[in-house]
Amino acid sequence: MKKARGVLFSSPLRRRNSTSAASALQMDSPLSSPPERYSFNPILRWNPEVEEYFSAAYGAEHFARISKALTQPSSYSCVRVNTLKSTSDAVIQKLIAILEDKRQKSNATKVEVCNDGSPLGSSIVNTIGSRELCNRQTPEESQSHYIFKCPYPGLENIVFVKGSGPHKLHYGNQPCQPMKEVIVSRKCAEAVLRGAQVYVPGVLACSAHVEKGDVVAVSVAVEQPTSDGGGGFGFTRGTVLQGSQSDPQYHERNGLYIGEGTTSLSRATMFRVSHGTAVEMTNRVYELPSFYDILEGEIFLQNLPSIVTASVLDPQEGERILDMCAAPGGKTTAIAILMRDKGEVIALDRSHNKVMDILKLAAEMDLTCIKAYKLDALKSVCRANGTINSGITDANNEELDDVTANNRSSSGFHTDDKVSIDMETCSNDASPSLTVSNGKTDEAQSNAGKRKNVFQMKNGPGRNQCTGGRAEKSKGFMPNSFDRVLLDAPCSALGLRPRLFAGEETMESLINHGKYQRRMFDQAVRLVRPGGVIVYSTCTINPGENEALVRYALDKYKCLSLVSQQPKIGGPGVIGRCDLFERKFSEEWLTESEAELVQRFDPSSSLDTIGFFIAKFVVGDKDF
């Protein structure tokens, strides 16, 4: 388990002593009242230094609001349509039918209650969104209010599916029976809040005598400090819940109940098997549909800013594009589709498994212009003599290994040994395990070949680009060899919601993200041709990562200029900064239509990302 040093957690004892984000909210009763046990009212605990830093940047009260909002999921899902396979209108029709079918099936097990108290079905008493759930329309009419196309030019490939919440739930509706419970991990809970079911690996503890088909209350255990200064759950997976105060994190789970569901497995099986659905959620604090297994290849569930990022890059058919940190390939595939699969999209990631994820997604979407390579993006420039150009004037850079120029592949870049993939694993698992063969053992290769055949028999040819069983490693690319470069930089991801834990970030880690991004940017500047474009994007609330990078870039590289799609609105040209708590950014930073979009989908901070940042640079004549 990852250690989390210097972390505060959401225990009530800690809460009383807290001075900043949480206490700033105490002026504000609806957000800060002490949580009822069976409610969902989490409070994010930050490393004190980080909290101080953000409070200084935003003001304590404003940061407290950001912090609170980070714990809630957005109130809609955002789906990108693969316009090479379908249209937004066709997807909307299909989603209406699929989600209505699901709704009818799940309504068989619940009874909703309208604002006026009349039963429509469910133990849900809506606090928000009730009017929408309860209006007396035909299913098609009511669904069409929830599933609709983005109205802005250039973004018609986006379909929104509106959810609802927070709902106040009544748990334990079976009289005379003790409530049965399941505790899930924080990551599992974050996924459930966005519409997922509870899968086996996410279950940490369960009541005794739970059988398949039982109704259980689902709560989340958030990491707790351990004596060695790290973090952990403080109990063993598989612990039996007694329904008493001796249960794990009994008090800490006050206000951390995310819904109710029906078990798909008995307690014994839940802790014996390694995968599968453990609990099918029936009532959720936030209702968002699950898109698991729905219209695969035709749609992709993606955060709105990520989709906007690809359109800001504005790739053209026939161009050569580099996506430097690409896995799992959300933006890569968006770019390829904008290019109508014509040209070349090179996608890099430093992890083997993640490269295979990119290839899998590309194959699912039938995209052939994507080539994915395993490469440390900090080493992505090759000099003309075949050595890696480390980018260089940054004091943090180290000189990197030499590579020979004679292994340059036909597409103008360097490749070395191949990595073969376990195809059987690949067919079942989005994160397949990889076996490095290095071309050494025939036996290993023939086994890989056998696995490949099994895979092809199961899935058919063309199902996955990894049918060749290889994720290539690259040794870098020639300077000035790309028309456009996307640097979707590894960042603190502190803009993503919902988030139930923030304690892993320290001042040191925040500073390191910034340094890392600068080094990557140095590579990007060398790789793009004069006249080309670099788009830098992050998903964070940390100005030390996003704004600081733009300042660094403009100070260091005189050949760069920031572009705004509409300079009169875009000010200095950063075209997409979106802090959803201060609409001021919508006028100051966004284009007109993007600003409208944010306002439309952020009436009460409902956007799927609290902070994102997109900067677009045009590269002029280079003097290096």
Ligand X SMILES: C[S@@+](CC[C@H](N)C(=O)[O-])C[C@H]1O[C@@H](n2cnc3c(N)ncnc32)[C@H](O)[C@@H]1O
Known binding residues for S-adenosyl-L-methionine are 325-331, 349, 376, 488
Planar angle of CA 264, 430, 201, nearest 5 degrees: 35
- Contact predicate 503/46, CB 8 Å: yes
- Tell me what percent of the chain is helix, strand and coil, each rounded to the nearest 5: 35, 25, 45
Which of 233, 231, 227 minimizes the C-alpha distance to 203?
233
Q: Which is nearer to ligand X, 158 or 278 (CB)?
A: 158
Q: Provide the minimum distance between the beta carbon of 546 and ligand X in the complex, in angstroms, as a whole number.
A: 13
- Which residue shows structure tokens 């004091």? 395
* Closest by CA position to 450, among listed 487, 484, 424, 477: 424
Beta carbon nearer to ligand X, 21 or 607: 607
Which CB atom, from 329 or from 391, has the smaller least distance to ligand X?
A: 329
Residue for token pair 């002490």: 34
Helix, strand or coil, per DSSP, at residue 227: coil
Amino acid sitting at position 245: Q
**Residue closer to ligand X, measured from CB, 221 or 326:** 326
DSSP per-residue letters across 133-179:
HH----HHHHHHHHEEE--STT-TTEEEEE-B-PEEE----STTSPP
Nearer to ligand X, 32 or 77 (CB): 77
**Contact call for residues 476 and 412 (beta carbons, < 8 A):** no
Please report the beta strands in 378-508, taking only residues with DSSP state E, as ranges in sequence order: 381-382, 388-389, 413-421, 434-436, 470-477, 482-488
The tokens 């966005």 sit on which residue?
Answer: 194
Give the whole-angstrom CA distance, residue 336 versus residue 45.
40
* Coil, strand or helix at 440: coil
Give the integer Cα–Cα distance in Å for 371 and 415: 12
Q: Which residues bind ligand X (CB under 6 A)?
A: 306, 325-331, 348-351, 354, 376-378, 488, 490
CB of 1 to ligand X, least distance (A): 20
In this complex, which beta carbon is closest to ligand X, that of residue 263 or of residue 538?
A: 538
Are 179 and 217 in contact by the 8 Å Cβ rule? The answer is: yes
CB of 96 to ligand X, least distance (A): 27
Query: Which residue in the list 188, 369, 539, 578 is annotated as catalytic?
Result: 539
**Closest distance to ligand X from the beta carbon of 334 (Å):** 8
Residues 6 or more apart in contact with residue 16 via CB below 8 angstroms: none
Structure-token pair, residue 30: 């609806």
Whether residue 619 contacts residue 529, with contact meaning beta carbons closer than 8 Å, is answered with: yes
Nearer to ligand X, 113 or 325 (CB): 325
Instruction: Measure the CA–CA gap between 150 and 128, rounded to whole angstroms.
Output: 23
Distance CA 355, CA 465 (A): 11
Phi, then psi, of 269 in degrees rounded to 5: -70, -40
Minimum distance between the CB of residue 482 and ligand X, rounded to whole angstroms?
15
539 carries an active-site annotation: yes
**Which residues are annotated as catalytic?**
539
